[in-house]
Structure 1
Amino acid sequence: MSWAPVTLRWPEQATQWMGQLSTAKDLASGELVSTALRLSGLDGMTSTNPGPVGAAAQGAIDAGRSALTQQMGEAPACLVVTPFQSGVVQGTGYQRFLSAPNLVQQLANELVDVSDASRPDGPQHALCLMFLATRLDQLAESLSRFNALLPMPDLVRAERRARHLSKLETEKWELPSAGTLPRWQALPLERCTLLKAAKQSMSGQLAVLESYAADSSPMSDLAALAKRKVAQQQGRDQQLNDLKALLAGGHADSSLRARMIGPGTASDLRRDLLKEEAPGHEWVLCAGVLLVGSEQGLSFVRELVGL
């Protein structure tokens, strides 16, 4: 597989098992409405009814948990190379460079580095990501788009450093303005000893009264619980829909390239990684990520980057 521009999107295939939950969720919604009506109609009588949701949802729950464990339970081995790591790049100080071909060579060499005890071993698949840039601000923007979805500590640090260096380069020519003195500022009343003690005393009195106001009947508590379950389900659905909408209609990002290689041993993966010609040396500021694991364990990230 050659280097392909990345289009960030929601992994529909990797999460298709979630469609099995719709029947149970619809049944649960109807049961919550029925429960609320029963509670409002109780007049001195109480009864319990487990309802049909548990039995209907058990199969979907088992399948969903199994799929979630297979996709999210495995932690792939991760290697991150950035222009700010010592012994990796060319140049010194703030003037450091790491071109795309040198980045690929560095990633390939780390696959067979026997001095690293954490190096993955055995037949594996590998997903390689490259962040291409010619300027510090361009590298920071490319990393920020990816870190918003899949942050990695080394990539987050590289993004922060690239952004600060870019800001330093542009702002070092600006002359600061001191402004006029004195200036208005907020008075932190919570630091005043008298006001702090008074606030604690008054808050205690209010808390005592709130304990009486919070006294309620079991029926009203059950009705409030049913409403909270409805709101919680709607909130979870909306959260998932927001994630899908965020990744919908994405465009190919030429500054982010990806490849999927394998299966094979570390030596096989190194050979496959170097077989395909990488982007040229004109990309002088590059970072890379190499994820090594099983095909199932990499399926979510693979589909996330559009492969």
Structure 2
Amino acid sequence: MTWPAVSMRWPEQATQWMGQLSAAQDLAGSELASTGLRLAGLQGLASTNPGPVGNAAQGAIAAGRAALSEQMGEAPACLVVTPFQSGVGQGHGYQRFLSAPNLLQQLGNKLVDASDPGRPAQEQYALCLLFLATRFDQLAASLARFNALLPMPDLVRTERRARHLSKLEAEKWEISTPGTLPRWQALPLERCTVLKAAQQSMAGQLAVLESYAADGSPMGDLAALASRKATQQQGRDQQLNDLKALLSGGGSDSSMRARLIGPGNAAELRRGLLEGEPPGHEWVLSAGALLVGSEKGLSFVRELVGL
């Protein structure tokens, strides 16, 4: 068996399908020019007439926009404390801990932190959320249930980090068994300069041909558009109904605690937050969120957590 020298050349047999498209390309070009002429001829002949639904829906649209603005217009101030924040948790390296009483102390101190210009200054209400766990996987699971409904960036990052640390703890005892090198893999044809040039040259022409192949009547296109809109609306309604069914009749979750405090200024809210019997130091992995705002602004989250 010999090893002949390599001679780089254009793949005539593999690309002969390009020549078969020339007739279709010429037809597409002529049809495109004809379409432009027909559209120019329709100028001034065709008109549209809006239906009666638009005027009838104006009142409902205004009421819906006002309700959304009223619900979302008074967003409360938010403070999130997690074990992984700098200067907050105890421990070194990846092993960071924060017990529940220390978490409450951190939240209370931030209420009266004069160096923070964003701290609340007026008499308001405070809603405190605690996420309690003893292991990283428990903390990630607890945060995942809450983030699925009301994701906060700091809590999402904490959930992701706790999940990764839990996976690291579980996999560090596994002994990997890698295969020998080299390994089989697919030939990267997408890196071939010949194929790149051919794809760039043919992409636009193929798109034109596909548009003509999928040609249909305007009435059919409008009917398909209306059907897609109806299907999308049904999907959104079903998603909302599924979420309502999931939240209705749900049991209490001991890994999440919530408490409403107020009204009062920052110092009074801090005293109210630290009063009573807090969760103990056995909850060594804890995260919390403190929402401060008006009673109306906190109503959505308050109802969401069952207070």
Q: Please tell me the TM-score bracket, short chain as reference.
A: 0.7 to 0.9
**Per-residue deviation, residues 109-137 of structure 1 (Å, max 9, x unmatched):** 11111110111221212111001011122
Once the 2 structures are TM-superposed, how far is the Cα of residue 89 of structure 1 from its aligned partner?
2.4
| Rounded Cα–Cα distance in structure 2 between residues aligned with 1:283 and 1:122 | 33
Once the 2 structures are TM-superposed, how far is the Cα of residue 224 of structure 1 from its aligned partner?
3.6
Aligned to 1:70: 70
**Per-residue deviation, residues 24-80 of structure 1 (Å, max 9, x unmatched):** xxxxxxxxxxxxxxxxxxxxx9883622x3444333333322221122233321111
Q: Is the 8 A contact 1:261 1:272 kept in 2?
A: yes
1:190 is aligned to 2:203: no
Superposed, which structure 2 residues align to 1:1-307 within 5 Å?
A: 48=49, 50-51=51-52, 53-213=53-213, 217-307=217-307
| RCO comparison, higher one (Cα < 8 Å, 6+) | 1
CA RMSD of aligned residues (A): 2.5
**Per-residue deviation, residues 266-288 of structure 1 (Å, max 9, x unmatched):** 12211211123211111111110
Amino acid at match of 2:187: L
| Rounded Cα–Cα distance in structure 2 between residues aligned with 1:158 and 1:226 | 43
| Rounded Cα–Cα distance in structure 2 between residues aligned with 1:249 and 1:187 | 55
| Rounded Cα–Cα distance in structure 2 between residues aligned with 1:93 and 1:220 | 63
Amino acid at match of 1:293: G
**Per-residue deviation, residues 205-248 of structure 1 (Å, max 9, x unmatched):** 22222344465554444434433332332232223223323434
SS at match of 1:116: coil
Gap change, CA 1:178 and 1:232, over 3 Å in 2: closer
| Rounded Cα–Cα distance in structure 1 between residues aligned with 2:215 and 2:132 | 61
Unaligned runs of 5+ in 1: 1-44
Aligned to 1:7: none
Amino acid at match of 1:241: N
SS at match of 1:292: strand
| Rounded Cα–Cα distance in structure 2 between residues aligned with 1:152 and 1:47 | 46
Q: What is the percent sequence identity of the aligned residues? A: 78
| Rounded Cα–Cα distance in structure 2 between residues aligned with 1:138 and 1:91 | 19
Amino acid at match of 1:237: D
| Rounded Cα–Cα distance in structure 2 between residues aligned with 1:256 and 1:263 | 23
Amino acid at match of 1:74: E
Aligned to 2:37: none
Unaligned runs of 5+ in 2: 1-45
| Rounded Cα–Cα distance in structure 2 between residues aligned with 1:216 and 1:285 | 61
SS at match of 1:195: helix
SS at match of 2:203: helix
| Rounded Cα–Cα distance in structure 1 between residues aligned with 2:94 and 2:265 | 37
| Rounded Cα–Cα distance in structure 1 between residues aligned with 2:181 and 2:48 | 72
Amino acid at match of 1:235: G
